[in-house]
């Protein structure tokens, strides 16, 4: 993980927020390549859940919602984590459930008395700590002006169920997708962008007839696992884990997590829950609106059940980076390379003049200008060619095109492949089409079975 954090800082993917003030704990800012990479992760998610299906529509609800939302959803009472504090020397705070999970993962008895993992001190009794951030709307800070920063995007979907049903001309089975910021006052944020207090979620609420819920739960487990593997995550670094009865959230009748083997161990990447009809029923009760589906043909009416694949954009970005990170020795030199799926790579092609003379920069710039209309491209003329390749390897650029002496004679260029390091001679004319074709081809990480 330290290597990923260092690379992210060195190349400006992700860095500490408010750094000049000493940083704000577990809060991060995304720089140029980080914005492009996370943007690609989100774009691939939109493509898979909306563009390539005809049963899911998009939504973008406000972050601030009517406070009754959180009463109805159960978050005001139930969105808590069990907080324990060290009564010994270090006074650190922990999540009791995480401490027990860690013991179980190490094969140790997990239901007895816990001690502080830091200093061995005694721990306090667990106290339920609500994770919602509060703020006030308008100039008066009283009970009536209290609002919450949403702790999940899901509720914005449920409260819009009626609107969407009316305007989208969809009927169950159908889904609503939303991506955006969520906020949780986590007790123990950490592991870089794995767990932060401000993060982005990508969620689908998929509404189905009650009897179909089990089948659709299976469907989404398969679909979402396929998404991660198609985008390059090694299948032996992914696993499905069904929640035990004591782990299930207040709304859920079944949840399975897609877990990734992060550097700190197997951890949740995405949760896929069968929420039953809990949310729509609650919002109907609290709002007085009927939130149900009525079949205009048969007159059949029911409150749809919901399958929810809930992913984190930052957490997925971290998983893709961890999975892609590689080091190797090439001709006696260490090379750091991000073997990202070409569709996720922030920059697809770098155009490099071999030397800064003989008309090479002009030809290279012309090619670069043509390429960047089609795909994210970079022009780099600074430093030795080896150094420029290494810079591109570190940000995961799949292709490097070098304009050299021969280009000026026969209008061919070298195309360098990030992973195999092969260099091919190709005609300049038609190169954008050729690259677009290669970018669209199926891709498999060379780290598979490595």
Residues in contact with ligand ATP by the rule CB under 6 A: 152, 184, 186, 195-196, 199, 201, 268-271, 310-312, 314-315
C-alpha 331/C-alpha 41 separation (Å) is 33
CB of 436 to ligand ATP, least distance (A): 32
Residue 438's closest CA among 409, 404, 400?
400
Rg (CA), the chain: 25
DSSP 8-state symbol, 47: I
Exposure on the CB side of residue 158, measured as CA atoms within 13 A: 30
Strands 28-30 and 265-276: unpaired
Question: Residue 84: which region, alpha, beta or left (left: phi > 0; alpha: psi -120 to 50)?
Answer: beta
Specify the residue, 308 or 393, whose C-beta has the smaller distance to ligand ATP.
Answer: 308
Cβ atoms 222, 216 nearer than 8 A: no
27 or 412: CB nearest ligand ATP: 27
CA distance 189 to 308: 24
Q: What stretch of H or E contains 390?
A: helix 385-395
Q: Which is nearer to ligand ATP, 321 or 337 (CB)?
A: 321
CB of 195 to ligand ATP, least distance (A): 4
Q: Quote the least distance from Cβ 81 to ligand ATP, whole Å.
A: 7
Nearest residue to ligand ATP, using CB? 312
Of the candidates 171, 165, 152, 181, the one whose C-alpha atom is nearest the C-alpha of residue 275 is 152
Report the Cα 199 to chain-centroid distance in Å.
9
Query: Shortest distance, CB of residue 183 to ligand ATP, whole angstroms?
Result: 9
Q: Which is nearer to ligand ATP, 310 or 407 (CB)?
A: 310
Closer by beta carbon to ligand ATP, 49 or else 371: 49
- Cα–Cα separations (whole angstroms), residue 68 to 146, 181, 243, 254, 304: 11, 20, 29, 26, 21
Give min distance, CB of 278 to ligand ATP, in A. Answer: 14
| CB closer to ligand ATP, 178 vs 310 | 310
Distance CA 185, CA 130 (A): 8
CB of 311 to ligand ATP, least distance (A): 5
CB of 200 to ligand ATP, least distance (A): 8
For residues 95 and 374, which CB has a smaller minimum distance to ligand ATP in the complex? 95
């Amino acid at each position: 993980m330290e290597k990923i954090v260092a690379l992210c800082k060195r190349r400006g993917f992700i860095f500490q927020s408010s750094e000049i003030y000493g940083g704000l704990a577990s809060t991060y800012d995304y720089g140029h390549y980080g914005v492009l990479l996370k943007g690609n992760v989100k774009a691939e998610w939109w493509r898979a859940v909306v563009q390539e299906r005809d049963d899911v529509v998009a939504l973008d609800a406000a972050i601030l919602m009517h406070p009754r939302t959180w009463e109805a959803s159960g978050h005001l009472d139930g969105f808590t984590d069990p907080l324990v504090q060290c009564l010994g020397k270090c006074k650190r705070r922990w999540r009791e459930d995480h401490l027990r999970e860690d013991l179980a993962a190490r094969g140790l008895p997990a239901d007895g008395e816990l001690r502080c993992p830091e200093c061995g001190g005694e721990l306090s009794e667990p106290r339920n700590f609500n994770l919602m951030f509060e703020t006030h709307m308008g100039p008066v800070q009283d009970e009536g002006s209290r609002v919450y920063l949403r702790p999940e995007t899901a509720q914005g979907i449920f409260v819009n169920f009626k609107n969407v049903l009316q305007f989208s001309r969809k009927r169950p089975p159908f889904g609503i997708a939303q991506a955006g910021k969520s906020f949780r006052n986590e007790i123990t944020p950490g592991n870089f962008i794995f767990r932060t207090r401000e993060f982005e979620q990508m969620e689908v609420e998929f509404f189905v007839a009650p009897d179909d819920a089990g089948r659709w739960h299976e469907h989404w487990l398969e679909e979402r696992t396929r998404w991660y593997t198609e985008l390059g995550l090694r299948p032996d670094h992914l696993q499905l884990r069904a929640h035990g009865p004591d782990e299930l959230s207040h709304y859920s009748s079944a949840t399975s997590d897609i877990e990734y083997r992060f550097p700190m161990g197997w951890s949740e990447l995405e949760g896929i829950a069968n929420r039953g009809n809990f949310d729509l029923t609650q919002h109907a009760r609290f709002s007085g609106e009927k939130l149900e589906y009525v079949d205009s043909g048969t007159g059949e009416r029911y409150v749809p059940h919901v399958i929810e694949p809930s992913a984190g954009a930052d957490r997925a970005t971290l998983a893709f980076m961890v999975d892609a990170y590689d080091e190797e020795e090439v001709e006696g030199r260490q090379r750091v390379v991000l073997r990202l799926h070409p569709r996720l790579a922030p920059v697809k092609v770098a155009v490099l003049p071999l030397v800064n003379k003989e008309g090479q920069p002009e030809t290279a710039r012309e090619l670069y200008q043509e390429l960047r209309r089609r795909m994210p491209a970079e022009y780099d003329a600074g430093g030795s060619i080896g150094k420029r390749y290494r810079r591109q390897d570190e940000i995961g650029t799949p292709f490097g095109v070098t304009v050299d002496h021969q280009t000026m004679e026969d209008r061919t260029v070298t195309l360098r492949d990030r992973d195999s390091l092969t260099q091919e001679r190709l005609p300049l004319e038609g190169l954008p089409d050729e690259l677009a074709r290669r970018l669209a081809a199926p891709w498999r990480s060379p780290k598979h079975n490595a």
